[in-house]
Structure 1
Amino acid sequence: MNNYAKLLLVSTFCAVGINAQTKDQTVKSIMDETYKNSKLEQLAYELIDGIGPRLVGSPKMQQAHDWAVKSFQNWGIDARNEKWGEWKSWERGTSTIEMVLPYPKSLEGMQLAFSPATGAKGLTADVVMLPNFASKEEFNRWLPSVKGKFVMVSQYQPSGRPEYNWKEFATTESFEKMKKESAEASENWRKSIQNTGETSRTLNSKLESAGAAGIVSSNWSRGFGVNKIFSAGTKKIPVVDISLEDYGQLYRMLQNGTTPKLKITANSKDHGKAPTFNTVAEIKGTEKPDEYIILSAHLDSWDGGTGATDNGTGTITMMEVARILKKHYPNPKRTIVVGLWGSEEQGLNGSRAYVSAHKDQMPKVQAVFNQDNGTGRIANISGQGFLNSYDYLGRWLNAAPKELTKDIKTTFPGFPGGGGSDHAPFVAAGVPAFMLGSLNWGYGNYTWHTQRDTYDKIVFDDVKNNVALIAILTYMASEDPERASNEQIKMPMDSKSGEPAKWPEVKEPTRLGGFD
């Protein structure tokens, strides 16, 4: 070996050593910052307690966008709000629901999103229960009887105990009997609604047109004390959701010949039409500024609770990742984008709008990391149908300390996600975009779209785990000398059509909403 070759070899070893040392130091810095100087609790307080629920189009949503921009700018990160549409702007106020007859009692509940207000004096009326219907004609004959009444529109639940509680304590015979009766009751209720010719989305409007004074629902989430809180679906009359316990009492009174009378006071403001935005922050790349890693989470929420786990945790995770990277990796090779989307809850509108507005970026995106399913630590990652995702995701994951990755289950190459969260619009556009799936922590029943989705449900140790992991993945994706392959799998046969399944299609967002 000549002297030149020896010198080249030594230089190569030195470069590799320096690169490995630099990588190890950056990973260590990320870990130290995550666990020794975390800002998660403060961010969570400011967003979730300080601002509160973030319904699309609402003043609270606009406040959250402005807060996020200011937070990024305070960390030295460029940020802006990108307008993509307009939405009905509704602001929640206080609401009270009282039973005044046969005796006075405060009921647990709240007005649904976009519910019309009652005025300061409220509304007082008798209660009637939606019966079972055998036909649309029977429903139409009954419909005039709702005039001036509060109509109960949800299935009666004889037990407020979740199935897991029954399974733990009931006899086998009692548990099986409960399941059988519950399934039969649900099927009978489903058929009855179907027989009206309406759906759960159109029924309230139909009752409003018939002169109902208001709507009372109880959308039980199959856990102790939790209900789903969605939209009112009316234009003039109030819609409230009350607890299973109180709803059941009203139902049993009616069944026993006693007609309860309620007083509902719902305060809210209709601000007309408001612009809707995405908050977009960028740490500019130094070597490949026109290639991108996108950190994705939706900023909006339903407003029964304060949107803590859907998706406050995803939002503060991505903001904290950006803060840490700006401090310890201020000159990334590729541009790091944080997208905090609006109106995910109404159909992925914000992320779809970003894909539409930044078509030129899509072929240059190295990866999208999306977080949107509760407070749990990341436990599963799918390759989303990208054929070679194992190669690059495997490299990036391997750089993280084993305590962050040891329990993660991966599925490669996986299958493309067609919806569900904000990675899907990017996947449809052919971008390697990955949902970072979290441990459950009772998410589906207890916090997802419920009135219990509040700050106290956050498990900060798990969220810190996610911050560290995503920061390391982002660092590795930025440093990777190779472009991540977006080659797609050959789609399997669709068993229903007998034709090959199709890759999800790019869809435009709904740019004007809430006025149906």
Structure 2
Amino acid sequence: MLCLKKSLILPLFLVPVTMIAQRGGRQSAELPKDTVVEAIITEGEQDSQLEQLGHELLDGIGPRLVGTPEMKQAGDWAMAKYKSWGIASRSEKWGEWRGWQRGPAHIDMVYPRLKSLEGTQLAWSPGTNGKAISAEIILLPEVTDSITFAKWLPAVKGKFVMISMLQPTGRPDNNWKEFGTSESVIKMNKERDALTDAWAQRIRRTGYTTRTLPAALEKAGALGLVSSYWSKAVGANKIFGANTKKIPTVDLSLEDYGLLYRLAQSGTMPRLSMKIDSKELPVADAFNIIGEIKGVEKPEEYVILSAHFDSWDGATGATDNGTGTLTMMEAMRILKKVYPNPKRTILVGHWGSEEQGLNGSRGFVEDHPEIVGNIQAVFNQDNGTGRVTSLQGQGFLHAYDYLGRWLTKVPQNIRQYIETSFPGQPGTGGSDFASFVMAGAPAFSLSSLSWDYGTITWHTNRDTYDKIVFDDLRNNAILTAILAYAASEEAQKTSREKIVLPIDPGTGKPKEWPKPVSPTRRGGLD
């Protein structure tokens, strides 16, 4: 239950959108056909450009880490693509970022036997200055306190150091559930929990955190750091950024990390050889790509299609957020072809540096109050390749009314999967819609079916083109285009009236609407 003005109470509405379609006693199937909607569906189904766009962006250009040449190349590609469709676009600088480029990485175990290892340098990792470096690899010790650790710390000089725990199993949970006995599953879960707690204690007793420990090891003379952030899916590891400035940091597959860990643990003293060819580059512009179809009746009011353009770079960022990017580009292409003269201006925002804190969209909101104050609706997609299955009101009191009417235009084969939730709560993070919500603009997340997004592709080394489900993506592009069309044609400007938020137990008063957050405008430079 959410409290509204004074004594008014509004329950949380959680209903299939097919029920919303029943308005005034008439089923949506009986509504007159809309020729623009029909054209959107036909274009999206019969002349989809999604596969080709995905191939060009993900296979041809690849990952789009903020500050890299690939991010700039992708921005130029997007603007050229919009130009070919007759859509105006621009690159808007909102900050600067540390310049860096990934190069080839060769990681081998050279003792007690030869074996090439599966590994990935972390983003912004220093390289090895064009040469291979070789040394013993050692474990973090179990110490009683930070004083004991400080005494041990000089032992890292000239060695590689392993900074992640040893996983007790390389099988995903669903594999254990399908084939394991109940006793073995319980035993494995207990063992993993115990090892996780023990490793957290091992880090804590050093006097450092997982973020500050790398700098301490680097300062003490370590040759490089080796981690393994398993995603709990076979072959998938999370790949984020390095916390070192001078020595390389790499992530190894669960299998290879476990091999080295066990050898070091048993006293075999394994040796590693590493050649990392990443390089530092001049400071790079941090930017958003903005596309625009100008409105003809209310050009100073805006419908915004939204998806972050950047990615982590352990793979190609196919589902985070290549799929959101492709969805919005395809929706814009369709709209320009079948609805070239919208009532309101339709913008598309391809935001930079979402992965480091929604920075691009926060920059846009901060830099464009004249647009934010006149937003009709924002539609954002950023949680994988699946078809859209959820839409909630983000705390806007009347969102059920206008979103419900717009959704009646969406064909049943797409609409049937969408569950709506009203009025909802204002988003404060997670993706770029939150930047607009916090500024009071009606912005909504087109939330998708999982397809095991969290384990297989989200921020992993397996987030590649082959994981895209294009049938679902086609549905999402059609859905987005129809919602943008309906929002543009809406007779009235959408209401921004907000719910009264629940009581804060600490103050005894209703919680306040979240306030906008300023972006980081100098990433990795201060």
Q: Tell me the residue number matched to 1:130.
A: 140
Q: How does 1:56-455 map to 2 (within 5 A)?
A: 56-455=66-465
Shift of 1:23: 5.8
Shift of 1:222: 0.9
- 1:294 is paired with a residue whose SS is strand
Q: Tell me the residue number matched to 1:476.
A: 486
- 1:221 is paired with a residue whose SS is strand
Counterpart AA for 1:300 = D
Q: Tell me the residue number matched to 1:14.
A: none
Counterpart AA for 2:458 = W
Q: Tell me the residue number matched to 2:34.
A: 24
Shift of 1:495: 3.8
Q: 1:335-387, CA deviations, whole angstroms, 9 ceiling, x for partnerless residues?
A: 00000000000100000000011111112100000000000000101100001
Shift of 1:497: 5.3
Preserved CA contact (<8 Å) 2:128 2:248: yes
Quote the Cα distance in structure 1 between the aligned partners of 2:509 and 2:317.
41
TM-score, normalised by the number of residues in structure 2:
0.93
Number of corresponding residues: 497
- 2:120 is paired with a residue whose SS is strand
Quote the Cα distance in structure 2 between the aligned partners of 1:498 and 1:130.
47
Quote the Cα distance in structure 2 between the aligned partners of 1:426 and 1:240.
36
Q: Tell me the residue number matched to 1:8.
A: none
Quote the Cα distance in structure 2 between the aligned partners of 1:449 and 1:416.
25
Quote the Cα distance in structure 2 between the aligned partners of 1:489 and 1:134.
51
- 1:93 is paired with a residue whose SS is coil
- 2:102 is paired with a residue whose SS is strand
Quote the Cα distance in structure 1 between the aligned partners of 2:422 and 2:70.
40
Preserved CA contact (<8 Å) 1:289 1:335: yes
Shift of 1:181: 1.2
Single out whichever of 487-496 and 30-39 deviates more from structure 2. Answer: 487-496
Which of 441, 448, 468 aligns to 1:458? It is 468
- 1:463 is paired with a residue whose SS is helix
Preserved CA contact (<8 Å) 2:139 2:265: no
Preserved CA contact (<8 Å) 1:55 1:61: yes
Shift of 1:498: 4.3
Preserved CA contact (<8 Å) 1:318 1:467: yes
- 2:45 is paired with a residue whose SS is helix
Shift of 1:139: 1.8
Q: 1:255-297, CA deviations, whole angstroms, 9 ceiling, x for partnerless residues?
A: 2110000000000121131111100011000100000000000
Single out whichever of 193-202 and 354-363 deviates more from structure 2. Answer: 193-202
Quote the Cα distance in structure 1 between the aligned partners of 2:512 and 2:200.
32
Which of 42, 45, 50 aligns to 2:52? It is 42
Preserved CA contact (<8 Å) 2:168 2:191: no
Quote the Cα distance in structure 1 between the aligned partners of 2:134 and 2:506.
52
Shift of 1:191: 2.1
- Structure-2 change in CA distance of 1:453 and 1:497 (3 Å): farther
Q: Which runs of 5+ in 1 are unaligned?
A: 1-19
Q: Which runs of 5+ in 2 are unaligned?
A: 1-29
- 2:89 is paired with a residue whose SS is strand
Counterpart AA for 2:401 = D
Preserved CA contact (<8 Å) 1:133 1:193: no
Preserved CA contact (<8 Å) 1:72 1:281: yes
- 1:478 is paired with a residue whose SS is helix
- Please provide the CA RMSD for this pair: 1.3
Counterpart AA for 1:291 = E
- Structure-2 change in CA distance of 1:315 and 1:207 (3 Å): same
Q: 1:13-34, CA deviations, whole angstroms, 9 ceiling, x for partnerless residues?
A: xxxxxxx999611111101111
Shift of 1:505: 1.1
Counterpart AA for 1:390 = Y
Which of 504, 508, 513 aligns to 2:518? It is 508
Preserved CA contact (<8 Å) 1:384 1:434: yes
Quote the Cα distance in structure 2 between the aligned partners of 1:138 and 1:460.
55
Single out whichever of 157-166 and 322-331 deviates more from structure 2. Answer: 157-166
Quote the Cα distance in structure 2 between the aligned partners of 1:294 and 1:272.
33
Which fold has the larger relative contact order, with Cα–Cα distance below 8 Å and residues 6 or more apart in sequence? 2
Preserved CA contact (<8 Å) 1:218 1:244: yes
- Structure-2 change in CA distance of 1:290 and 1:366 (3 Å): same
- Structure-2 change in CA distance of 1:468 and 1:148 (3 Å): same
Counterpart AA for 1:52 = G
Shift of 1:113: 0.8
Quote the Cα distance in structure 1 between the aligned partners of 2:402 and 2:87.
27
- Structure-2 change in CA distance of 1:497 and 1:216 (3 Å): farther
Quote the Cα distance in structure 2 between the aligned partners of 1:356 and 1:265.
42
Q: 1:463-506, CA deviations, whole angstroms, 9 ceiling, x for partnerless residues?
A: 00100101000100000101111111101013455442221111
